[in-house]
Every structure is written in structure tokens, then in C-alpha cells.
């Protein structure tokens, strides 16, 4: 998922479930500034935060946004989303990412 167009991945990605229909990954950030690395999502996905805090999101074109997250409050993003996700927290944190790998009902 990540490539070399930006800073290296320092967050940890642990795949919890993977099959033909779904991939579930826990992204863990040990320290403020840890990041996923620049990537483009090839599938629709849902994120479920496991903390209250914020993530800084680097976007194409040099833009950045801050996302306020709440424990257990999921959000959806479509395939094609491009970004680098960076922890803005002074504590270890993680979120669960659920990628929908196919379009079966």
C-alpha cells in the first residue's frame, strides 16, 4: 500500500483478518509523529478509532488536514483516497481499518 513518494512508514500495520472479501488491519502509532507513509487506497474502507485524539493527514498537493477522532466512532472513505496519516498525539494510539476487497453483497 505504501510507496516511496514521501517519508517512510513508522506506524505498525498488523493484519488481523484477510480473505477474498475483507482485510482488517490495526494501525498502531507508538509516538507522536509516527506515520503510515504515503499511500493510495485501492478499496473502499472504514476506520474505527481506538482512542480519542487527532491525526494529521497529508494530502496531495501539499495540503494537510487534522481529523479529530473518538473511540469507536467509525468513518468511511472511498477507494482512491491518497494520503499519509500522522499521529498528533502525545500517547500511543491505534485504529482499525476495514477494507472491502470485493463488491459481493
Domain ranges, residue 66: 12-100
- Compute how many other C-beta atoms are within 10 angstroms of the C-beta atom of residue 97: 21
Res 28 pLDDT > 70: yes
Nearest to 84 by CA among 103, 56, 105, 61: 56
pTM: 0.89
| Phi/psi at 23 (5° precision) | -130, 125
| pLDDT > 80? residue 84 | yes
Report the mean per-residue pLDDT for the chain: 93
Q: Residue 2's pLDDT band (boundaries 50, 70, 90)?
A: very low
| Domain-embedded: residue 7 | no
Whether 78 shows a pLDDT value over 50: the answer reads yes
Which CATH number goes with the domain that contains 38? 2.60.120.10
Distance of alpha carbon 103 from alpha carbon 92, whole angstroms: 34
User: pLDDT tens for residues 38-50?
Assistant: 999 999 999 999 9
| 3 inside domain | no
Amino acid at each position: 500500500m505504501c510507496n516511496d513518494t514521501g517519508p517512510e512508514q513508522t506506524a505498525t500495520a498488523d493484519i488481523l483478518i484477510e480473505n477474498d472479501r475483507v482485510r482488517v488491519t490495526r494501525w498502531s502509532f507508538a509516538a507522536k509523529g509516527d506515520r503510515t507513509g504515503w499511500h493510495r487506497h485501492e478499496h473502499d474502507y472504514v476506520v474505527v478509532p481506538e482512542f480519542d485524539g487527532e491525526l494529521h493527514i497529508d494530502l496531495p498537493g501539499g495540503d494537510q488536514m487534522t481529523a479529530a477522532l473518538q473511540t469507536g466512532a467509525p468513518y468511511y472513505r472511498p477507494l482512491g483516497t491518497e494520503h499519509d496519516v500522522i499521529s498528533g498525539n502525545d500517547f500511543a494510539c491505534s485504529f482499525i481499518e476495514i477494507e472491502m476487497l470485493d463488491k459481493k453483497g
